[in-house]
Amino acid sequence: MRLSGTTNGYYDSHAPVRSYPNIAPQIVSPDQTFRSELGDRLVLPCQVANRDKFVLMWKQGSRLLTAGKMVVRKDSRIRLRDDFSLEIEELRAEDQDTYTCEIDVLGKPISIQHHVEVLVPPAVQAMPRDGIVSTRKGDDVTLRCSGRGNPNPRITWTKKTGILPSRKTSQEGLSLLLEDVDRGHGGVYVCTATNGVGRPAMAEINVQVKYLANEV
């Protein structure tokens, strides 16, 4: 009987020995960027071929979320699906991060990364917060509003009744300059924040122009 790895019927210790290694796992899902709105449900895929008994891990940044079928992070919004996709419910702003799906293959990790951007509707705040600006006739006044959201919102100014002092119906910017104010500058100015997510946000500033007794 001829032996495997022999020469002329005799065993050769220097001959190569045939081996049939297990097929290594492979992550077939590609890297992706996800943009989801605040409060949405998000599913991050990690499809693996030949996973066998290798342990799959999910990380948010450097923080471990799951190991195998166990969810390590104590967050009821996070769960692992049967196909090892990571599901996050009720997205929060702090969920914006890089998520890594990783498998350690005999000391050599393989991984993919998903980048998650959480889109946040705009919010706007008049400054001062009470929305009232008092000034004297002839003064210069700068109206200001601060906006926040993701992406950063665009601020547009309008006047509730009439047009702006610039003779425009609207003007963009974080501030609005009123020069040499008179009675016509008085009234309610509206700053509106928009960023394409959710509904626009609005704040009002009431400009009150004061006159001396002999100027009334």
Residues 46-94 have pLDDT tens digits of 999 988 889 999 999 999 999 999 999 999 999 999 999 999 999 999 9
Question: Is 38 a member of any domain?
Answer: yes
Q: What is the CATH number of the domain that holds 31?
A: 2.60.40.10
Clarify whether residues 109 and 70 are in a common domain. Answer: yes
> Which of 96, 120, 144 is the C-terminal boundary of a domain?
120
- Residue 40 counted as domain residue: yes
Query: Number of structural domains, the chain?
Result: 2
What domain range includes position 153? 128-215
Strands across the sheet containing 86-88? 42-44, 86-88, 78-80
pLDDT score at 179:
95
Last residue of a domain, one of 75, 104, 120: 120
Residue 113 lies in a domain: yes
Query: pLDDT tens for residues 2-20?
Result: 233 333 333 233 333 332 3
Q: Say yes or no: 90 and 163 in one domain.
A: no
Say yes or no: 136 and 110 in one domain: no
In a domain, 81, yes or no: yes
User: Which of the listed residues 104, 120, 136 is the one where a domain comes to its end?
Assistant: 120
> 84 lies in a domain?
yes
Claim: this prediction has a pTM higher than 0.85: no
pLDDT for residue 162: 85
In a domain, 9, yes or no: no
